[in-house]
Amino acid sequence: MSSVPERSDIDTEYKWDLASIYASDDDWEEAFEDVQSRLSDIAAYEGRVTEDAETLFELLRLEEAVMREVSKVANYASLRSAEDTRNQEYQALQAKAESLASEAQSTASFVEPELQELSEEEVASFVEAEPELAEYEHYFDDVLRMKPHTRSAEVEELLAELSEVAGAPSDIYGMLSNADMTFPTVENPEGESVEISQGNFTKLQKHPNREFRREVYEQFYDEWGDVRNTVGTALKNSVKKDVKYANARNYDTAREAALDGPNVPVDVYDNLVETVRDNLDYLHRHTELKREALGVEEVEMWDLYMSLTGEEGPEVTYEEAKEYIVDAVAPLGEEYQAQVEAGLEDRWVDVYENRGKRSGAFSSGTYDTQPFILMNYQDDIASMFTLAHELGHSLHSELAKDEQPWQYADYTIFVAEVASTVNETLLTQYLLENVEDDEFRTHVLDEYLERFRSTLYRQTMFADFEHQMHTISEDGGALTPDRLDALYGDLKQEFYAPANVDDRIAREWMRIPHFYYNYYVYQYSTGISAAVAIVERILNEGEDAAADYRDALALGGSEYPIDVLETAGVDMSSPEPIESALSVYGEYLDEVAALLDLE
């Protein structure tokens, strides 16, 4: 029987090294208690933020010291919880850490409202009186920019205190989908029993046996159907939370509030959705190529993940993936390449799926720790690309930390998704140019096309769905599971018009955790668009363009995201990068059609 192993069965070399944060849980408890006791030091400055320049500088340095430790405490607990969501001890640890983070946010919530009592001229005079405050000039600009949407200190404290409760819909969904839901076991064509999981569902949907794919698909979505009211209630309340918080901060819509945080113009969102909708013909052609390649009368929803070759891709072990990725990022410079190689050897990555492990993949870490990458590696090309993606995030963090003070080391998701997709694009280029095996190259090309489909098109479809949900809620409409099914089913039908869009796929919204992240998913689509443009520039112009890109990553959060990408040579206020990426998608469709002798 093919089953998911327990964590204890996985070799240490394939697990991340959380002892590099705290040597033991006892050390974590000691750090927790210490930093919790220091929150009162911050509170002592309430009402004194703008007393004078020296006081402001003292407070900002104190806030940094405390929040850096809070971040470490929270990160350790979160990563422990992700290892096995069934472990009640680590669930309790994470709950404590979330409470601490909420308490810290609440304690420091007076800082920005008090800063906003200053004018730009008064801030400039403070910087003149205390030159070390010059380091915070972008921070001051950002704080003053948000003045119309910042409430009184009392209201800000209340909103901060509610943050933990406001996260309940996402927490409930996470526990249900990762810990409590058990998916059926099916028999594959080789006679082996295979347990369906969140981590292996997509891989099983690539199995060459169509009847097996259908069975997996139906069993998987039928299981979701059994919890549709719970998931629907969680998502409905998550959307309501977004709307209420936007209203509390004097925004007209939740989307406006979400995009104003990182200072991304709403036009960027509209450009994305409109441009992709205007170019659905590429996606429809991809779907038709699948129909022809598979030799079927109609593409079914359980065919969408299938390779155009009609076969499972070749096995790519974790060790092979590491070697390919290190070689692929060479155009980004020797130092970047060396950091990638070192991270892969220094236990940044938690590699394989285990029972109870959080599904999917992510890159995490803090200013004072190494990066940590969660994977559920499946020995295939898709997993290799996911590893390259997450390493892009990790190297972004490392470059920003190396060049920026703490307050600017973090960066927006809008920029983050560029860094991850640049790595994917470079990996594609490298493999197509250097691997001689035609079958392998065809699968690589097919994988990249799939990533275009699932990133540029699918995530834009998600973004459209997300905006429709919020608009309905803002207009006083009801987000029932039936309404959500109808919304999602209509979009799926529009995007995949040549395929048979059945009733089960209308439930797909239930398995997407990113819908709880408040206007998050569009950034995957803008990210791949910018990444394609950046890679084209690097491959055409060489080191000068690579240096511009590294400089952009090193900016962290010291500039607004649109300006950061301009440093890398991309204007995301225009639809041009999206149109360019879509054109590349079309060219790759032509190439794979020629390779496979398809129309």
The 3-state DSSP composition of the chain as helix, strand, coil percent (nearest 5) reads: 70, 5, 25
Distance CA 561, CA 12 (A): 38
Helix-helix angle 458-474:228-248, to 10 degrees: 70
- Cα dihedral across residues 400, 403, 408, 409: positive or negative: positive
- Active-site annotation holder among 63, 390, 424, 447: 390
- Which tokens sit at 513? 């955790």
Tracing tokens 């006081």 back to the chain, one arrives at 55
Is residue 521 a contact partner of residue 463, using CB atoms and an 8 Å limit?
yes
Distance CA 570, CA 563 (A): 9
SS3 category, 195? strand
Strand partners, 193: 187
Give Cα separations from 126 to 8, 47, 57, 130, 466 (angstroms).
56, 17, 9, 6, 43
- Which tokens sit at 37? 């006791």
Helices (H) and strands (E) in the chain, counts: 27, 5
- Cα dihedral across residues 106, 110, 113, 119: positive or negative: negative
Distance CA 396, CA 554 (A): 7
Distance CA 208, CA 303 (A): 10
- Which tokens sit at 27? 């050390």
Q: Would you give the DSSP letter of residue 149?
A: G
What type of residue sits at position 401?
K
Closest CA to 325 of 444, 400, 431, 432: 431
Closest CA to 584 of 531, 545, 522: 531
* H helical segments located in 50-87: 53-83
Is residue 357 a contact partner of residue 342, using CB atoms and an 8 Å limit?
no
Give Cα separations from 87 to 79, 91, 165, 358, 376 (angstroms).
12, 6, 22, 12, 18
Strand duo 193-195 + 185-187: pairing? antiparallel
Catalytic residue flag (residue 190): no
Distance CA 205, CA 295 (A): 17
Strand partners, 2: 194
Is residue 428 a contact partner of residue 583, using CB atoms and an 8 Å limit?
no
CA of residue 186 relative to chain centroid, distance: 31
Helix-helix angle 413-434:438-452, to 10 degrees: 160
Is residue 62 a contact partner of residue 1, using CB atoms and an 8 Å limit?
no
Q: What are phi and psi of 97, to 5 degrees?
A: -65, -40
* Residue partners of 204: CB distance under 8 A and separation at least 6: 194, 196, 212, 213, 216
Distance CA 390, CA 119 (A): 41
Q: Annotated active-site positions, please?
A: 390
